[in-house]
Structure 1
C-alpha cells in the first residue's frame, strides 16, 4: 500500500520574491491588486459580450434563469476548489489535487486536457481580436494582426509574472468599468432618469410582455444553459495565479468568498439590463449583439465601436490569461514529471520559459489551422475541446470529496475555506454537471453539443490511455530496479 505524502501548507513550486537562481521556481510577483482584478475579471469573458444574444433569442427573458443556474454551479465548484487551494496553494491547482486525491492518471489527464483547452482558446481569441483590428486598420491583413497580438502577449508573459499581472490588471479593469457603466446607464434609462434618453418601450415590463417570461417554454432554459455555460470558464484561473502571490492562502480565500457577488453583478445584472431595455425578440439583439443593441436603443452614439473596443479588451485579456494559465499548468506537469522536464524549469525572473513557448507554439499552429482549414481541422479542435470545461469541473468535485477526508485526517487546521453541506452539495453538483453533459448529447446540430461531448470524450479517453500506459511502464521500471539480478 502506498503512503500518501502529507498535505503541504505552502506551494512547493513557488519561491519567495527576490530569488534569482536559474530554475529555482516561480516567484511571488503578483500583487494583491493584480490578483483581485484577475479574480473579478476572470468571470468576464468575451463570450458574455458576444454570445449572450444567442441565448436571449433562444430562451427569452428566461435566459436569466439559465445564467443563474450556471452561476450557482460555478459558485459551488469554486467553493470546492477554494477549499483545496486555500489548504495547499499550488500552480497546478486542480490537476495537482486530482493527482493526489484520485491518482496519478487523473492529474496527468486533466492537466493536459486543460492545457489543450486554453491553447485552442488562444487561436479563437487571436482570430477574434484580429477581425476587430483589421476592421479598424485594414492595411494590415487579419492574419498579420493575429500574429502581432500573439507576439506581444507572448513577450509580456516571458518578461515576468508581474508584467502579466499588470497587463491583466488594466485589461480586467476596463472590462469591470465597462460593465459597471453599462449597468448604471441602463438602469437610469429603465427608470427614465437618463438625460436625453427617450425610449418608452424599455422597462421591466419587457420581462413578461412579449410572450411571457418563458416565451419558448421551460425547456429553453436548458438550451440557454448550454449556450452560456462555457462563458464562465476562467473563474478557476485565480487559484493557479495565487501561488505567485506573497500570501496565497489569503488571496484564494478572498477570491473564493467574492465569486457570488461577481457573478450576480456582472452576469445577472448586465443581462437583466439588456432584457429590460429591449424586448427579447428584437432583431437587433442577434444582428448587432445584445449589448450594442441595448446601448443603441437608448441613444448612446457610436455604441458599436464602443463595444468593439471593450470586446477587443476582453479578447486580449482572455489571450493574456489563457497563455499564462496554459504555461503554468505545463509548468506544474513538468515539475511532476508528467511533461518534459524543461517545462518545470524557470528563468532567473521566475518565468517558465519553455512552458510558455510550447504553449504559444501550439497556439500559433492552431491560428494557422483557423485560417487554412477553418471548417475541418480547426473545427475538430474546437469540438474536441468544447466539453473540457465540464470535465474539469467534474474532476474538481471528485477531488474535493477525497481531499476533504485527507485534510481532516492530516491537517484539519488548513481547512480555512469549507464546502457548504459537504458531501451533499458536492454530489448534487456532480449530478447537475452529469445531467448537462447528457443533455448536450441531445443537441445534434453540426458542431453542437453532441459533437463536443463525443469528441472531447474521445480526446480524454486517449489521454487517460497514455496516462495509464505511463503509469504501468513506470511501475515496471521500478519493479525491475528493485528485483535482484
Structure 2
C-alpha cells in the first residue's frame, strides 16, 4: 500500500498508552469550545445544539473512514499518505501541504491568544514577549523527545477534561435547582426567547460552518498512534470512543449553556461562553479559573500544532514531496528539521501579526477558512477509492466504515454541500475563495513536481545502469 522506501528514516515509538489516550481526548477540545462557541450560539440560538450534533456526526463518520485506513497502515502522514496511494501523488502532495499550512498558521494564533491572557495579568511585559516565550518552550519540548510532547499534551488534555466535567456537574446542579449560589434552574431558556430555532434552519446551517472548525484536530490520533506500540489497537479504540467524547464534551456542555442563560445575552460574546455561565451562577474566581483553562487549551493546541505540522512535513519528505532534509531524525527519533521548519514558519506568522497588526497575518489566516472541509473531503474520497480497490481484489478490512459505499457517498455530498454553501454565503465567501486560491497554487505546484519526478525517473534508472556497468 505504501510507496515509501524501506530505508526511510523512522520515528520513535515512544508514546505511551496513557499519552495516546489523553491525546485523542484533548484533540477535540480546543479553546473554541470555551470561548468561540458564544458566536455560534448567538447565530443559531438554542438550535445550535442541532448544528453541533450534525457536525459531530459528520466528524465521527470521517474519523471512522480514517480509522479504517489507519488500522491497515499506521503512518505519520495519515490521510496524505493514503491519498497519494488511492488518488495519486498530486492529491497526497496537495492535501499534505494544505494541512501543514493550516497548522503553522494556527501555531501563532494560539501563541498570541495565550500571550494576551498573560499580558492582562502582567501588563508590564509586552504581549509579543509572552508569545515568543510560549512558542520557544513548546518548540524546545518537541525537539527533545516525542515523549515530551506526549507528556505536555497528557496534562494539558487532563486539565481540559477536568474543567469540562466540573462545569457539567455545576451546570446540572443548577438546572435541577440544587445550586446554592444562584437562583437559576430549569431549561426555559431553550424556548422562551424567540423559540428553540429563533433564526430559522438557515442559521443552523451557518452554525455548522462555525462549529466544524472546533472539531478539527480529532484526526491527530491517526498521526500520533504511528509513534506508539501497537498503533492499530489504539486507533481502533480511539475511533470508537470519538462519538461519546463529542456527546459529552460538546453536546451536553452546549445544551447546559443554552438551558441556563439567554442565548441573546451580550455577556456570552463579551466574556466567553463558559465564563459567562459561571458568572451567572456566581461561582467564585470565575475569571481566573476560565483564563487558566483557556490558557491551557491554547497551549495544548499550539503544542499539537507543532507536532502535527512537523510530522506531516516529515511524511512529505519521505515521499519526496518536500526537501529530503526534513526527514533527518535525532537519536531519539525526532524529526528535528521538520520541527524547526514548522516552528520558524509559526514565528514568522507571529512577527507578521505584531509588525503589521490587522493586515498581513489576518490575510494569511483567512486562507485556512475551508481547509478543514477539504481535508475531510479528501479522507472520504480516499476511503471510497481504497475500499473499492480492496474489495475488487477480494480483501475486506476488519475495521470497517459502515454501510459502504452509501454512507461514504452521503458524507461526500454533505461536505460538498457545505463547501457550496460557503461559496454563496457572504459571511464565508472571502475565506473560501482565498482557500481555493492557496489550494490551486499548491495543486499546480504538485503537478509540476510530480511531472518532473516522472520525467527524471527514466534518466535516473539509465544513469544507475551506466554506473553499475562501470
Distance 1:152 1:385 in 2: 25
Distance 1:344 1:408 in 2: 34
CA contact (8 A) 2:310 2:338 kept: yes
Q: Indicate the residue corresponding to 1:238 in structure 2.
A: 221
Q: Indicate the residue corresponding to 1:44 in structure 2.
A: 29
Aligned mate of 1:292, from 268, 272, 275: 275
2:351 aligned with 1:372: no
CA contact (8 A) 1:62 1:214 kept: yes
CA contact (8 A) 2:141 2:149 kept: yes
Aligned mate of 1:462, from 409, 430, 441: 441
Distance 2:301 2:412 in 1: 27
Aligned mate of 1:247, from 187, 211, 230: 230
CA contact (8 A) 1:70 1:225 kept: yes
Q: Indicate the residue corresponding to 2:76 in structure 1.
A: 91
Cα distance, 1:355 vs structure 2: 0.2
Cα distance, 1:407 vs structure 2: 3.4
Deviations 1:88-147 (A, max 9, x none): 100000000000000000001100000000000001001000000111122221000000
Aligned mate of 1:189, from 170, 174, 178: 174
Greater shift, 466-475 or 311-320, is seen at 466-475
CA contact (8 A) 1:7 1:410 kept: no
Distance 2:264 2:423 in 1: 27
Cα distance, 1:479 vs structure 2: 3.9
Q: Cα gap change, 1:436/1:263 in structure 2, threshold over 3 Å: closer, same or farther?
A: same
CA contact (8 A) 2:15 2:147 kept: yes
Deviations 1:15-36 (A, max 9, x none): xxxxxxxx84211110010011
Distance 1:374 1:203 in 2: 44
Q: TM-score, normalised by structure 1?
A: 0.93
For 1:59-458, what aligned pairs fall within 5 Å after superposition?
Answer: 59-194=44-179, 196-200=180-184, 202-408=185-391, 412=395, 415-444=397-426, 448-458=427-437
Q: TM-score, normalised by structure 2?
A: 0.95
Distance 1:347 1:410 in 2: 40
Unpaired segments ≥5 residues, structure 2 = none
Deviations 1:345-398 (A, max 9, x none): 211000000000000000000001111223221122111111111100000000
Residue 385 of structure 2 aligns to a residue in which SS? helix
CA contact (8 A) 1:102 1:399 kept: yes
Aligned length: 464
CA contact (8 A) 2:42 2:263 kept: yes
Cα distance, 1:411 vs structure 2: 8.1
Cα distance, 1:290 vs structure 2: 1.4
Cα distance, 1:483 vs structure 2: 7.4
Cα distance, 1:342 vs structure 2: 1.2
Residue 27 of structure 1 aligns to a residue in which SS? coil
Aligned mate of 1:477, from 450, 456, 469: 456
Q: Indicate the residue corresponding to 1:32 in structure 2.
A: 17
Cα distance, 1:337 vs structure 2: 0.8
Q: Cα gap change, 1:481/1:150 in structure 2, threshold over 3 Å: closer, same or farther?
A: closer
Residue 43 of structure 1 aligns to a residue in which SS? coil
Distance 1:411 1:181 in 2: 50
